[in-house]
Amino acid sequence: MRIFTTLLSLPILFLLSGCQSQNAAKGDAATQQLDAARSADVPLPSVTPFDATPEARAAYLEAYRDGYRSGLVSFNVLFHQPEKTDTIRMPGWQAGASAGFSKHLADVMNKSTP
């Protein structure tokens, strides 16, 4: 009985060790993607809805950067998402998120094209 249990346990341990190595590789890729998003150059829009007010424009563009970086990682991490009631930062974050996600999708499509 002890030999049977040992023989049955060995394949299970082998399979579990294989699964762990794949998860570690996925974790490394996710960490690399997150690091790349944090340090990504964000192409800022030249025109914003708040161009007449320098402080509001700066807040909009700051939120745009955070949204763009969130989009680059498919919204798995939300970089400094503002409150929905913030009428300056939330539109900037949403515009940036849309642009970042579009960039992410374009990159994914380019990688999958032979």
pTM for the model stands at 0.70
Q: How far is it, in rounded angstroms, from Cα 34 to Cα 22? A: 18
Give residues with Cβ within 8 angstroms of 19, minimum separation 6: none
CB 95 within 8 A of CB 67: yes
Q: How far is it, in rounded angstroms, from Cα 82 to Cα 62? A: 11
Q: How many of the other CB atoms lie within 10 Å of CB of 31?
A: 10
Residue-level pLDDT at 3: 62
One-letter identity of residue 16: L
If you count them, how many residues does the chain have?
A: 114
84 falls in which pLDDT band (50, 70, 90)?
A: very high
Residue-wise pLDDT for 8-63, tens only, equals 554 554 444 454 444 445 567 778 877 877 878 899 999 999 999 999 999 999 99
2 falls in which pLDDT band (50, 70, 90)?
A: low
Structure tokens at 10: 């060995």
Residue-level pLDDT at 13: 45
Instruction: Find the angle CA(91)-CA(35)-CA(65) to the nearest 5 degrees.
Output: 20
Instruction: Find the angle CA(39)-CA(41)-CA(96) to the nearest 5 degrees.
Output: 100
